[in-house]
Structure 1
Amino acid sequence: MARKAAIIGGGVIGGGWAARFLLNGWDVAVFDPDPEAERKISAVLSNARLALPALSDVPMPPEGRLSFAGTLGEAVEGAEYVQESVSERIELKHKVYAQLQQANPGVLIGSSTSGFKASDLQQGSPAPENIIVAHPFNPVYLLPLSEVSGSDRNPPEVVEKTVQIMKDIGMFPLVIRKEIDAFLGNRFLEAVWREALWMLKDGVATTEEIDEAIRMGFGLRWGQMGLFETYRIAGGEAGMRHFMAQFGPALKWPWTKLMDVPEFNEELVDLVASQSDAQSGQYGIRELERIRDQNLVGFLRALKERNWGAGKVLREHDERRAAAFHAGTDQGPKAAPLVMAHMQVLPGWIDYNGHMTESRYYFAGSETIDAFLRLIGAGMDYVGAGHSYYSAETHIRHLSEAKLGDRLTGTIQILSADEKRFRSFVRIMKGEECVATIEQFYLHVDMKAGKSVPAAPEVYAKLRAITDAQAGLPLPEGAGRAIGQKKE
């Protein structure tokens, strides 16, 4: 049975939460009195379906069921978790919490608030221990950070449960060690925002020039190393101590106006808005969101390849989900093709025709073979010891189309084997339909000597057992077929 989350407030942030929970397999009930809420969340979800799966290298779980509740009580019924994303009015939040806790006593409520402390949110509640801050960053469905901030009234188990739920949907829960208004991220952003407004008001720079300074310079550094690690490198071989000695005195220089705020009036609003319109007005908001998402996906995937920063969070989330799919594969010999891999056609797998691109058929075959090699004891530890199976010949047949979102299964049949080689036949299945076959011939190699040698006895014994179990299977249709050969 799918887990259920209730989303209270369906704006940009609430819609982002709904998308993240849904695409990670949770059922989601949304409550928002706005008559446009369903349309707005549908637009956010459409963008999320294009973007979030592009960060994954394992199949996404089946998407959860989305519903729109007519009341708070209906939304929270049966919910394991509530994410509140209503307007930043403390009296409204208190009213919402009272109704939620009356309808579902004991339910865990996380708030998306940008500034209120948990102790502020908990005032007047009959169960303050179950109200906590879980503050995200937009777009919620892509950016992993969730600032988890509780008060003395939140027991450790409530904090731990919140942290685990965030991890379950692929987020990076950062537990704030002391209560502070606006938490960590927004404190930095507020400082940058104030300074930017002064530079704008004083005619030092335009909105576009300020944005260029961020995205062409330190913003790229911050995205993968943050603040202190960036400055540690700036100190050269002597590190952070040298940096502090060199630049510390600048703290007393009148560079910034962080202790002052420009007057907030119509003149300032017009100045910011007119320059922003000139900078980005040629794009619609939804188009800007898609451009933003595509850029973030590229950046996050680069970090994922290097297992660094936010990319490490993505890898760990993939590994947790991959374990569940691995449990659904065969673990020993049987008189049938072995199910070795479960896959899904992800956004990065498709070509300009909207079909799975040619290289991904080979990749799907490789995923199946790699799982098989691990099964017989010839995985990465075996390779590290100096031996491996090398593919010597490959023949792929493309039999049907696989499109975005299709779920695929890789099966393997061993056609022949001896101590030095084996011949395999992989089927890539979409349900009962075979979309491709990959026939391959493998040689067992001593990597240091660079020549074929017999496999380790324990590896060959497992390979032989599977080969013998499948010996009675008919030769697959297409096995041994030459390229272009007419069907009989």
Structure 2
Amino acid sequence: MTKISKAACIGGGVIGGGWIARFLLAGIDVDVFDPHPEAGRIVGEIIANAEKAYAMLTGAPLPPRGKLTFCETLAEAVADADWIQESVPERLDLKRGVLTEIDAAARPEALIGSSTSGLLPTDLQRNMTHPERLFVAHPYNPVYLLPLVEIVGGEKTSAGTIRAAIERLAPIGMKGVHIAKEIEAFVGDRLLEALWREALWLIHDDICTVETLDDVIRYSFGLRWAQMGLFQTYRIAGGEAGMRHFLAQFGPCLAWPWTKLTDVVDLDDALIEKIGRQSDEQAAGLSIRALERIRDENLVGILQALKGGDNGKGWGAGKLLKDFEQTLWARGGDAAASADPSKPLRLVETKVSPAWVDYNGHMTEHRYLQVFGDTSDALLRLIGVDLAYVEAGHSYYTVESHIRHLGEAKLGQAIHSACQILTADEKRLHVFHTLRDTATGAVIATAEQMLLHVDSKEGKAVAAPAAVLDRVKAIAAAHAELALPEGAGRHVGQRR
């Protein structure tokens, strides 16, 4: 799969900053050009929020963060990039001029995406020398969490460009969807515009407040849409007879004069003030950055819930996250292969995220088991028990765990876990994990575990193959020279 090796972002506002964060956290170097005097601060704050969100989003080992460089000129920013994302304000003359300048300075093979939410790519590519590589790449805010990108080509955009754009989005955890025909506002914003027009009338006519309207969305169909969309939701509403029954039953409602979609509300000063006042009341003093963090935590929770859908296979955006994590784990496993077997293997590096703490701000009990489980998983990948191995029908199952809580892991604390193999034979793997504070080295907790190699289809323990055993025995032999870790062999309630 073709990947983005280096990105350039022209414009670092809400959307441009989101793209920058998405690229950086996927390990991609980003050159940025934005003449705004506060661009560095704005982008920095967006990246900070993105890092907090990713700490909650996944326990998979993220690659080293890409290098961020602010450039003095547009030409300097795009010179070495193979993906260039334009995110300047939504004005045709401005965007067309910027894209033409990008086209003149970029490498011939570079892809050029525009973050426009409604301008047609044919209009944008009019003055370009290489218009075949220009396409609309319309994301949704926050770009670093919401995975969808609408990919829209213009009259001169090549089919190969569309394919390449969609292919290169997957390794950074995004889903490109091809919009087959140019149309103003594309698909997503057309749907949002319809809802927005009706919402403005409901506020204008004092049917409800902005808070009530938001409650109607977020406590009902918004939850359904988040994981299944519109048409599949309505298919279910049709019962066993499905979509055709739904359309026959509710189709006639379209002729009823319920909505005012064809009657545009006069967005005068009075209505703007009403909406502004109600929105201020709804925010209850929370800053934009605070609201962004609350939004991110909520989105992370939904994405994590969807990741476990369909009996653990993942559903919708959750499956996309699950697939993205598998690539991260694979990459992290490769990095772990260089671990020094002459000492306990340091396999997991993480931070205590807000989703991991209780009311005291301390890491909750089940998160210790998660970290130790991640440590065992990292060891398994190191000895060759990776996803392909598991899918082929064999794995190691944990059959016993003994955790000692010796300290406290607190919100935001950097922690790491190391593994020592105590004993190993053809079927059993006896390990001891130690969780430490990365800053001080203090021991926070330990876990002693016994794992059995199993045939998952037969549901019984079997001998591991020679390729796995050779790796296990090599590490076990090196660890046999180490001192037995303090606490190994203890049982629950044993006096010190």
Q: Distance in 1 between matches of 2:369 and 2:105?
A: 53
Q: Which moved more, 1:273-282 or 1:211-220?
A: 273-282
Task: Write out aligned runs for 1:68-87 (5 A).
Answer: 68-87=70-89
Q: Which residue number in structure 1 is paired with residue 448 of structure 2?
A: 439
Unaligned runs of 5+ in 2: none
Query: Is residue 372–residue 417 contact of structure 2 (8 Å, CA) maintained in 1?
Result: no
Task: Write out aligned runs for 1:32-51 (5 A).
Answer: 32-51=34-53
Query: Is residue 362–residue 408 contact of structure 2 (8 Å, CA) maintained in 1?
Result: no
The DSSP-based 3-state class of the residue aligned with 1:440 is strand
Task: Write out aligned runs for 1:345-384 (5 A).
Answer: 345=351, 347=353, 348-349=355-356, 359-370=366-377, 372=379, 375=383
Q: Which residue number in structure 1 is paired with residue 178 of structure 2?
A: 175
Q: TM-score, normalised by structure 2?
A: 0.84
Per the TM alignment, residue 277 of structure 1 is displaced from its structure 2 partner at its CA by 2.4
Q: Which residue number in structure 2 is paired with residue 103 of structure 1?
A: 105
Q: Distance in 2 between matches of 1:376 and 1:4?
A: 31
Q: Distance in 1 between matches of 2:116 and 2:387?
A: 47
Query: Is residue 59–residue 407 contact of structure 1 (8 Å, CA) maintained in 2?
Result: no
Equivalent AA in structure 2 for residue 423 of structure 1: H
Given the superposition, is the C-alpha separation of residues 350 and 26 from structure 1 closer, same or farther in structure 2, using an over 3 Å criterion?
farther
* Equivalent residue pairs, number: 481
Task: Write out aligned runs for 1:313-324 (5 A).
Answer: 313-324=320-331
The DSSP-based 3-state class of the residue aligned with 2:186 is coil
Given the superposition, is the C-alpha separation of residues 398 and 192 from structure 1 closer, same or farther in structure 2, using an over 3 Å criterion?
same
Per the TM alignment, residue 184 of structure 1 is displaced from its structure 2 partner at its CA by 0.8
Query: Is residue 11–residue 34 contact of structure 2 (8 Å, CA) maintained in 1?
Result: yes
Do structure 1's residue 9 and structure 2's residue 38 form an aligned pair?
A: no
Q: Distance in 2 between matches of 1:378 and 1:10?
A: 39
Task: Write out aligned runs for 1:287-326 (5 A).
Answer: 287-306=290-309, 307-326=314-333
Query: Is residue 110–residue 132 contact of structure 1 (8 Å, CA) maintained in 2?
Result: yes
Query: Is residue 376–residue 463 contact of structure 1 (8 Å, CA) maintained in 2?
Result: no
Given the superposition, is the C-alpha separation of residues 411 and 127 from structure 1 closer, same or farther in structure 2, using an over 3 Å criterion?
same
Given the superposition, is the C-alpha separation of residues 386 and 264 from structure 1 closer, same or farther in structure 2, using an over 3 Å criterion?
closer
Per the TM alignment, residue 230 of structure 1 is displaced from its structure 2 partner at its CA by 0.9
Query: Is residue 120–residue 184 contact of structure 2 (8 Å, CA) maintained in 1?
Result: yes
Q: Which moved more, 1:263-272 or 1:335-344?
A: 335-344
Given the superposition, is the C-alpha separation of residues 422 and 253 from structure 1 closer, same or farther in structure 2, using an over 3 Å criterion?
closer
Given the superposition, is the C-alpha separation of residues 240 and 42 from structure 1 closer, same or farther in structure 2, using an over 3 Å criterion?
same
Per the TM alignment, residue 432 of structure 1 is displaced from its structure 2 partner at its CA by 12
Q: Which moved more, 1:163-172 or 1:179-188?
A: 163-172
Do structure 1's residue 252 and structure 2's residue 255 form an aligned pair?
A: yes
Q: Distance in 1 between matches of 2:173 and 2:357?
A: 24
Per the TM alignment, residue 439 of structure 1 is displaced from its structure 2 partner at its CA by 3.0
Given the superposition, is the C-alpha separation of residues 391 and 85 from structure 1 closer, same or farther in structure 2, using an over 3 Å criterion?
same
**Deviation per CA, 1:372-419, whole angstroms, max 9, x where unpaired?**
56748799988998997553452547589798484746434243x456
**Deviation per CA, 1:296-334, whole angstroms, max 9, x where unpaired?**
1112211122211211111111111211122234599x9
Q: Which residue number in structure 2 is paired with residue 66 of structure 1?
A: 68
The DSSP-based 3-state class of the residue aligned with 1:140 is coil
Per the TM alignment, residue 221 of structure 1 is displaced from its structure 2 partner at its CA by 1.2
Query: Is residue 354–residue 404 contact of structure 1 (8 Å, CA) maintained in 2?
Result: no
The DSSP-based 3-state class of the residue aligned with 1:83 is strand
The DSSP-based 3-state class of the residue aligned with 1:327 is helix
**Deviation per CA, 1:16-59, whole angstroms, max 9, x where unpaired?**
11111112212222222221222222222221111133211301
Task: Write out aligned runs for 1:164-203 (5 A).
Answer: 164-203=167-206
Q: Distance in 2 between matches of 1:133 and 1:456?
A: 53
Identical-pair percentage: 44
Query: Is residue 13–residue 85 contact of structure 1 (8 Å, CA) maintained in 2?
Result: yes
Given the superposition, is the C-alpha separation of residues 279 and 380 from structure 1 closer, same or farther in structure 2, using an over 3 Å criterion?
same
Given the superposition, is the C-alpha separation of residues 442 and 460 from structure 1 closer, same or farther in structure 2, using an over 3 Å criterion?
farther
**Deviation per CA, 1:94-128, whole angstroms, max 9, x where unpaired?**
11112222222423211110101111111111111
Query: Is residue 47–residue 290 contact of structure 1 (8 Å, CA) maintained in 2?
Result: yes
Per the TM alignment, residue 89 of structure 1 is displaced from its structure 2 partner at its CA by 0.9
The DSSP-based 3-state class of the residue aligned with 2:220 is helix
Q: Distance in 2 between matches of 1:386 and 1:60?
A: 27
Q: Which moved more, 1:181-190 or 1:100-109?
A: 100-109
Q: Which moved more, 1:246-255 or 1:68-77?
A: 68-77
- Max Rg structure: 1
Given the superposition, is the C-alpha separation of residues 423 and 156 from structure 1 closer, same or farther in structure 2, using an over 3 Å criterion?
same
The DSSP-based 3-state class of the residue aligned with 1:261 is coil
Aligned counterpart for 2:402 among listed residues 394, 398, 404: 394
Per the TM alignment, residue 442 of structure 1 is displaced from its structure 2 partner at its CA by 5.1
Do structure 1's residue 56 and structure 2's residue 58 form an aligned pair?
A: yes
Given the superposition, is the C-alpha separation of residues 143 and 380 from structure 1 closer, same or farther in structure 2, using an over 3 Å criterion?
closer
Unaligned runs of 5+ in 1: none
Equivalent AA in structure 1 for residue 324 of structure 2: H
Q: Which residue number in structure 2 is paired with residue 148 of structure 1?
A: 151
Q: Which moved more, 1:45-54 or 1:465-474?
A: 465-474
Equivalent AA in structure 2 for residue 74 of structure 1: E
The DSSP-based 3-state class of the residue aligned with 1:60 is coil
Query: Is residue 427–residue 434 contact of structure 1 (8 Å, CA) maintained in 2?
Result: no
Q: Distance in 2 between matches of 1:468 and 1:110?
A: 49
